Structure 1
C-alpha cells in the first residue's frame, strides 16, 4: 500500500528552471496550473533549488497566498516569522503519528508548506499519507463506529500546568477575543475557578474534498486518546488526574468512550500506509491538507523544519 502513492518531486531539470531560489520563483510565477497540480498529485516536493532561509518569504508568498496564524493549535511550536512556525517541537526520539493539521478545529488550512532549514543527522523524515488509503485501511467496524463523529475536549491552563495555556493556544490574553473565536467555531466552553479554559467541540471523522469529492479520514482522535500514548504514559497520566481533566481527550460524539484498540489501529494503519519524505536542506514540501496527512519520524542530531499554512 505505501508504494501506491507518493508526492511528485519537482527539481530544476524537470521544469527547465535555474537551480536557485530565483529559478523556483520564476517557475512558480509562470505555472498557472499549480493549484490543479497539487490537487492531482496531493503533495509536491521542490528539491534542488537551494532555497536559503533569507529567500523563503518570496517562495512562500507564491505557494501560500494567504498565510494563516496557528490559532487553536495544540502542538508546541515557536513563531519565527510572518505566520511561519517551527514544526512540532516534541522530543526527537518520538514518532509523531499521522494527522491533518487542525482537523479537530472548526476551520483548517487547505494547504501546508514545510521547509527544511537544517536536516537531521539521521532520521527525521516527514511521513505523508493519502487520506483515502488511510480510510480504506481501517477495519469496517472501526469506520462504522466513528461514523457519528468525535468529541474533542481541551483543558487549557492559565499559564501553569500540563499542556498549552489558553493564551498560547489563541495567541491572545484577551478572554473576550477567545470567546468570540469559540462562539464562531460552534464550540462550548467553560472558565474554571483556577483560570483553566475547558473547550469541547464535535467534529466529523471523515470529510469530502471540495474539488475531487473523495472521502478521506480526517480527525485526530488517536493523537488525543490516552491509549495511543503507550501503556506506561497512559498509566502515569491516569495516576495524576482523571481523563476529563487531561490537557486533551476524545470520545465519540455522543460521549461514548472510544475503545483503546480502535485508537491504536487508527494510529498504526496511518503510519503503515505513509510514505517518507527524507529531507535535504533547502527542500520544500507542499501538501493538500485535506487529501494528505503528515507526521514525523524520530531523529538524531539537530533538525529545523519550518511550517506555514494557508486557506
Structure 2
C-alpha cells in the first residue's frame, strides 16, 4: 500500500489546528469557546489558514452546541440531495453516516458529486467510541499529488454520476429521503435549478445524472484539489465479492449509485482502489474525545471514518 513516506514530495506536512482553553487562556466552557470565536470573524481567518480546526476541551454538550454553532456556521443547510444514510436530529443537524461500525468510510468531500455542495462541515462528538472511530482528514491537494500521473490524466475530463432513487421500496435511499420532501414538483424545481438531468421512472422511482469535474482549483493558491466521490460510487470499492454480488442482482445502470468517466466509459477498478487507498494513507486521524468539535473546509479537506467498537455518536451540520 502507498504510504505518505513513500510519496516523497507528497509526504504529510499539514495537520488540523487544535484550539484548546489552555492555548487561549479562557475557561474550559462554552463561554470560553464563545470568547475565542468572537463574532465569527476569527473562525474565517483560522479556517482560511488551516483548513480544519479541532476545538477541544471546552466541554461542549448537545445543549451548549446550539449556542456556539452560529459562530461556526453562518447558516445551516439541509442535507438535500445527500447520498449517505443519516438521521435528522435537530434544525439541519444530522447524525454522521450510519454505516456499520466495522467498516471504514473512505475519504470524500461532502456532496462533491452534486452541482451544489457545502463549503463548511461541523462535526460534534456527543459520545466517543469505545475504541477506534477516528475521523481521518486529508488535504485534497496532497491527495491529488499522491495519485499516479496516469490516474490524474484519466480523470481530467470529469465524471458522470448516476443515482437511481426508489419511490419507497428498494435498494438504497428513496427520493423522498434524499430531497427531504414528498413533493415531486419541488424535486423538479431543485434539479432544474441545479442544471441536472433527471427522469421519473415507472414505479415511482427517479434517475438523476450529473456530469461533474473530478478536480477543482484552490482560488487562494492555484493548487489542484481532488474533489469527487468516484471511489465511493464505484462497485469496486465494495470489494470483489460484494461488488460482484450487487452486479449479479442489478445491471450497473440500475445500481442505487454508479459512476463512469464523463463520456460514459468505465473507470478501471485499479484506479478506484488506488484513489481510495492513497486518500486513506495520506490522512491524519482526528481521535475523538467527547465534547470535541471539528470544523473543516469541505473543498480543501476530505474526511472519512475509521472502524470502531462500542457506542459512538457524532453529529454533523453544514453551511455555505
TM (norm. structure 1) is 0.98
Structure 2 partner of 1:42: 51
* Segment of structure 1 superposing worse, 292-301 or 186-195: 186-195
- Which residue of structure 2 lines up, in the alignment, with residue 148 of structure 1? 157
**Aligned equivalent of 2:104, options 89, 92, 95:** 95
In 2, Cα distance between the equivalents of 1:81 and 1:160?
A: 26
2:308 counterpart of 1:295:
no
1:261 equivalent in alignment to 2:270: yes
Is 1:179 aligned to residue 221 of structure 2? no
- Deviation track 1:4-41 (CA, whole Å, cap 9, x = no partner) reads 21101000011121100111012111663321211211
Q: CA deviation at 1:243?
A: 0.6
CA distance in 1, matches of 2:221, 2:313: 33
Task: Give CA deviations for 1:135-160 in whole Å, capped at 9, x if unaligned.
Answer: 00000000000000000000000010
**CA, structure 1 residues 33+25, in 2 after alignment: closer, same or farther (shift >3 Å)?**
closer
After superposition, the C-alpha distances for 1:73-93 in whole angstroms (9 at most, x for unaligned) are: 000000001110000000000
**2:140 corresponding residue in structure 1:** 131
Are 1:230 and 2:239 an aligned pair? yes
Specify the SS of the correspondent of 2:289. Answer: coil
Residue 90 of structure 2 is aligned to residue 61 of structure 1: no
Cα separation, 1, equivalents of 2:208 and 2:308 = 33
Per-residue Cα deviation, 1:160-196 (whole angstroms, up to 9, x for no partner) = 0000000000000111110111111111111111111
Aligned-CA RMSD value:
1.0
Instruction: Quote the offset at 1:212 in angstroms.
Output: 3.6
Between the two proteins, the alignment pairs up a number of residues equal to 311
2:31 aligned residue: 22
Flag structure 1 segments of 5+ consecutive residues without an equivalent: none
C-alpha separation in 2, matches of 1:112 and 1:191: 31
1:114 equivalent to 2:123? Answer: yes
**Aligned equivalents of 1:209 and 1:85: distance in 2?**
28
Partner of residue 198, structure 1: 207
The list of structure 1 runs, each at least 4 consecutive aligned residues, that deviate by more than 6 angstroms after superposition, is none
Hey, what does 1:242 align to over in structure 2? Answer: 251
2:41 match: secondary structure: coil
2:235–2:258 Cα contact (<8 Å) kept:
yes
Q: Which deviates further from its counterpart, 8-17 or 149-158? A: 8-17
Contact 2:113–2:229, Cα closer than 8 Å, also in 1: yes
Instruction: Provide Cα deviations, 1:39-60, integer angstroms capped at 9, x if missing partner.
Output: 2111000000000111101111
Q: CA deviation at 1:239?
A: 1.3
CA shift at 1:209, angstroms? 2.5
Q: Which residue of 1 aligns with 2:91?
A: 82
Which segments of 5 or more consecutive residues in structure 2 lack a partner in the other structure?
Answer: 5-10
| Partner residue in 1 for 2:7 | none
Q: Secondary structure at the match of 1:33?
A: helix
The two structures have a TM-score, normalised by structure 2, of: 0.95
Quick check: 32-41 or 51-60, which moved more? 32-41
Q: Which of residues 68, 72, 92 in structure 1 aligns to 2:81?
A: 72
Measure the CA separation in 2 of the matches of 1:152 and 1:3.
30
